[in-house]
Amino acid sequence: MPRLNGFQVLEWLRAHPERQSLSVAIMTSSDEDPDISRAYELGANAYMVKPMNFRAVEHLFNAITQYWGLECAKPELEVA
Protein backbone atom coordinates (compact mmCIF):
# COMPACT_ATOMS: atom_id res chain seq x y z
CA MET A 1 0.00 0.00 0.00
CA PRO A 2 1.46 3.33 -1.00
CA ARG A 3 1.17 5.65 2.02
CA LEU A 4 0.15 3.49 4.96
CA ASN A 5 0.78 -0.12 5.80
CA GLY A 6 -2.04 -2.45 6.83
CA PHE A 7 -1.32 -2.04 10.53
CA GLN A 8 -1.60 1.74 10.21
CA VAL A 9 -4.91 1.43 8.36
CA LEU A 10 -6.22 -0.93 11.03
CA GLU A 11 -5.12 1.47 13.80
CA TRP A 12 -6.86 4.33 11.98
CA LEU A 13 -10.08 2.35 11.59
CA ARG A 14 -10.17 1.32 15.24
CA ALA A 15 -9.40 4.89 16.41
CA HIS A 16 -12.70 6.14 14.93
CA PRO A 17 -15.77 5.11 16.96
CA GLU A 18 -18.03 5.14 13.90
CA ARG A 19 -15.82 2.48 12.27
CA GLN A 20 -15.30 0.25 15.33
CA SER A 21 -17.96 -2.22 14.26
CA LEU A 22 -16.46 -2.85 10.80
CA SER A 23 -15.23 -6.39 10.30
CA VAL A 24 -11.62 -6.35 9.14
CA ALA A 25 -9.97 -9.34 7.49
CA ILE A 26 -6.24 -9.08 6.91
CA MET A 27 -4.89 -10.77 3.79
CA THR A 28 -1.12 -10.75 3.56
CA SER A 29 1.90 -12.74 2.48
CA SER A 30 3.32 -12.71 6.02
CA ASP A 31 2.92 -15.80 8.16
CA GLU A 32 5.16 -14.40 10.91
CA ASP A 33 3.79 -14.81 14.45
CA PRO A 34 4.57 -11.19 15.45
CA ASP A 35 2.55 -9.89 12.48
CA ILE A 36 -0.38 -12.20 13.26
CA SER A 37 -0.35 -11.19 16.93
CA ARG A 38 -0.11 -7.49 16.12
CA ALA A 39 -3.04 -7.65 13.70
CA TYR A 40 -5.28 -9.24 16.32
CA GLU A 41 -4.06 -6.86 19.04
CA LEU A 42 -5.03 -3.94 16.78
CA GLY A 43 -8.52 -5.34 16.28
CA ALA A 44 -8.45 -7.53 13.18
CA ASN A 45 -11.30 -10.03 12.97
CA ALA A 46 -9.43 -12.47 10.73
CA TYR A 47 -5.89 -13.00 9.46
CA MET A 48 -5.26 -14.94 6.27
CA VAL A 49 -1.99 -15.69 4.54
CA LYS A 50 -2.22 -15.38 0.76
CA PRO A 51 -1.57 -18.65 -1.04
CA MET A 52 1.02 -18.72 -3.80
CA ASN A 53 -1.02 -20.26 -6.62
CA PHE A 54 -4.12 -18.93 -8.34
CA ARG A 55 -6.39 -21.90 -7.58
CA ALA A 56 -5.63 -21.63 -3.87
CA VAL A 57 -6.32 -17.87 -3.94
CA GLU A 58 -9.60 -18.54 -5.72
CA HIS A 59 -10.53 -21.14 -3.10
CA LEU A 60 -9.65 -18.73 -0.27
CA PHE A 61 -11.80 -15.94 -1.75
CA ASN A 62 -14.71 -18.34 -2.17
CA ALA A 63 -14.36 -19.38 1.49
CA ILE A 64 -14.23 -15.72 2.57
CA THR A 65 -17.34 -14.93 0.54
CA GLN A 66 -19.17 -17.89 2.05
CA TYR A 67 -18.24 -17.01 5.61
CA TRP A 68 -18.42 -13.21 5.60
CA GLY A 69 -21.14 -12.94 2.98
CA LEU A 70 -23.56 -15.68 3.93
CA GLU A 71 -22.74 -17.20 7.30
CA CYS A 72 -22.30 -14.11 9.46
CA ALA A 73 -25.35 -12.57 11.10
CA LYS A 74 -25.93 -9.00 10.01
CA PRO A 75 -28.14 -6.29 11.53
CA GLU A 76 -31.21 -5.22 9.60
CA LEU A 77 -30.57 -1.90 7.86
CA GLU A 78 -33.23 0.78 7.80
CA VAL A 79 -34.08 2.07 4.35
CA ALA A 80 -35.05 5.73 4.30
Q: Is 78 helix (H, G, I), strand (E, B) or coil?
A: coil
**pTM score of the predicted model:** 0.71
- Domain holding 59: CATH number? 3.40.50.2300
- pLDDT tens digits, one per residue of 27-80: 898 999 999 999 999 999 989 898 889 999 898 888 888 877 766 666 666 665
Per the structure, the count of domains in the chain is 1
Element (H, E) at 47: strand 46-49
Are the C-beta atoms of residues 11 and 56 closer than 8 Å to each other?
Answer: no
Residue 33 lies in a domain: yes
Residue 80 lies in a domain: no
Residue 76 lies in a domain: no
